[in-house]
Structure formats: C-alpha cells, structure tokens
C-alpha cells in the first residue's frame, strides 16, 4: 500500500538523489528550526550521515546537542508549529528497493503513517510517557500489528504475546493483560522494544533507551536489542550521551555538538584515535575503572553556546584549548582526514 501511494504521485520524489547500495538511510544536510516568539532555535544545523544495512550507528553528544530532534525529524514527528524541517533530505530505502525522500512526504499523510512502524520504528526515552496508560500492553502492541500487518485482533494478540516472549518478559500471558503502570521500568522498556519490533521494521531508532534504568537492566536491554537485530536483520540508530553504550554496540559513531556532527568514524577508530577536541574532551571526562594509576577527570571548560546564535566561527572554539586563528575565521567543514574518519576541525 505504501509503495502504491508513493508511486501514484510525487510524494516520495528523490529529485535525482541516489542512495548508496550499502545504506538503508541517508540524512543529507538536515536543518531543523524552531521559530519562537523572540528567537529562532537552530536545533539541527546541517547534519549528514548514513546508516548501513544491518549495522548500528551511534549518535552521541551532551544534552541539547540535537540528537533527539534529528531522530524525531527522521520519524517526521517534529511538532509544527513551532518546529520545521527547513532544509536537507532524508532518503529511505523501502522494502521493495525503492528510495523515497521522507522530507517530501506529508507528516500526517497515509504514506508517512505507513512508514512509521512498518519501515522505521522508534523506542522513546521514557516508556511511561510513550505507552498509553488506559490500554493494556497487549492491546497497544496489537493495534500496531493490525494496522501494518492487516491481521485480525485475535491473530494480532497472538503476535503480541510472541513478541513479549522474544523480549524475555516474565509471565508474558499475564503481562499481555496488564497496564503500563503495573510494570517496572525495565519491563516497560521491554514492552516498548516489543512494540517497536512487532512489525519487523528495517530501521530501529533507540533514543536513550537505557537512561532511567539501573546498570544491570541496562546491560540486559542492550543485549536484547543485539539479539533482536540479529533475528530481524534490522539496522539501528542508537542515540545516547553514554559513551560506554556506544563502545559496546555501535559499528559507526557520530559525535554531535550544537546541532552539527563534528566527528564521524567507525566506533573502534573513534575511540582509539579521536581527532576532534570535543570528542577528546568527552573521552577524557569518562571515568576508567580498574586502573591502579587513575588520572583525574578533565572536564570541558565553559558552556555550550545558545542555539539561537547564528555563529560564523567554530562553535567549539570558545571552549577549545587547541584553537588557532582559523577557528575564529569561519565554520570548519566536516572533512575526511583518514579513510572513513571525518572531523570538523582545522587542526
């Protein structure tokens, strides 16, 4: 049905743009702005990245850098007004092999509604506010299955029960009939994963999926996502501020700062050889356990500039100990400094 809607008109026209065969999603020069009464907030300011098939891309950065807004833009969930995608493209490869530009679809139209859940699914940061408190767990998963897989209510509930088993939720038959408030935080997060994976999406976006959980449950959730990725052959975008999570599960990593990607590389390469001063600062501020001669943690000085400022210089320059004259003369482009390793830094 989605393919028919896109093929009938120009809703998914890619304007001659191409998507690399190894990639399933490509974001190009994405801009998202929020037009407030007193200022314009540039939440995402020219972000470009690609997600490869069956791989995990980690997007990391401190709070307010634009990670979650980027994810919401891919899902076309930016509230308008005041938010708006003001530039760029989001190319998605559909199950049938066709490529569409999500930015050219109506956010509330049937084509985009069919993409959400069936092609791209999202695990939100706080499951208690994402799950509907007045419907049982089973009904919420079944609703998505009925919509996208065209099954009867009875068959959809069977699929829901099967998904609860796959996410290793204890007593799944009982949980199916329970409401979100009757479950623990870890259980609710498993329900969110079951809901997201119930229609076998090609892409799973996980926005801080382990933030509110204790360390043991965090490890279980991350292990579960890895298992499901192998079972469903999905690609994952993992959004987090936790560098430890990224080092565990990501194949590629993008570091964001003030709405821009400042460094991007294969995960191992980025952790072993960080090239941007901001990435180095993030890594230097992470405690390392088990070492006899522990070094003192080094915080990044200063504050992040306001996203309402239209900066004509490197946004990290005011906080950077390596800055030089060029840093004050313009915004450094994201350039390839070694094969597959990009950094937006003059030095």
pLDDT at residue number 63: 85
DSSP code of residue 268: H
Residue 202: what are its φ and ψ, rounded to 5°? -75, -30
- Residue 248's pLDDT is 84
Structure tokens at 275: 């090239």
pLDDT in tens, 88-108: 999 999 988 899 999 999 888
Give the pLDDT of residue 5. Answer: 47
Domain boundaries, the chain: 273-288+296-343
Helices of type H across the chain: 2-8, 67-74, 110-118, 127-130, 137-149, 153-166, 172-175, 185-197, 215-232, 243-249, 267-272, 277-284
Alpha-carbon 85 to chain mean position? 16
Given a cut of 80, is residue 213 above it in pLDDT? no
Each residue of 132-177: pLDDT tens digit? 999 999 999 999 999 888 889 999 999 999 999 998 888 999 999 9
pTM for the model: 0.88
């Amino acid at each position: 049905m989605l393919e028919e809607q896109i093929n009938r008109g120009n809703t998914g026209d890619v304007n001659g743009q191409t998507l690399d065969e190894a990639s399933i999603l490509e974001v190009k020069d994405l801009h998202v702005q929020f037009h407030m009464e007193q200022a314009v907030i540039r939440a995402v300011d020219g972000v470009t990245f690609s997600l490869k098939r069956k791989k995990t891309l980690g997007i990391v950065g401190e709070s307010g850098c634009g990670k979650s807004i980027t994810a919401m833009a891919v899902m076309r969930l930016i509230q308008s007004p005041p938010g708006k995608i003001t530039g760029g493209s989001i190319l998605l490869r559909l199950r049938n092999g066709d490529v569409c530009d999500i930015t050219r679809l109506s956010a509330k139209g049937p084509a985009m509604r069919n993409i959400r859940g069936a092609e791209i699914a999202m695990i939100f940061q706080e499951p208690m506010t994402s799950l509907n408190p007045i419907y049982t767990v089973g009904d919420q998963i079944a609703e998505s299955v009925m919509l996208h897989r065209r099954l009867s209510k009875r068959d959809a509930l069977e699929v829901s029960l099967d998904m609860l088993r796959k996410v290793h939720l204890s007593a799944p038959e009982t949980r199916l009939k329970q409401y979100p408030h009757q479950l623990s935080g870890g259980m609710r997060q498993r329900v969110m994963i079951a809901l997201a994976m119930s229609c076998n999406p090609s892409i799973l976006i996980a926005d801080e999926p382990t933030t509110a959980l204790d360390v043991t449950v965090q490890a279980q959730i991350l292990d579960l996502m890895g298992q499901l990725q192998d079972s469903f052959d999905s690609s994952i975008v993992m959004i987090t501020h936790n560098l430890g999570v990224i080092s565990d599960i990501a194949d590629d990593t993008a570091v964001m700062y003030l709405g821009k990607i400042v460094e991007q590389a294969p995960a191992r390469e980025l952790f072993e050889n960080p090239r941007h001063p901001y990435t180095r600062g993030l890594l230097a501020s992470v405690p390392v356990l088990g070492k006899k001669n522990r070094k003192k943690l080094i915080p990044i000085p200063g504050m992040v500039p306001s996203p309402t400022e239209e900066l004509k210089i490197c946004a990290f320059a005011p906080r950077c100990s390596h800055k030089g004259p060029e840093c004050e003369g313009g915004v450094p482009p994201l350039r390839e400094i070694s094969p597959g390793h990009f950094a937006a830094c003059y030095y």
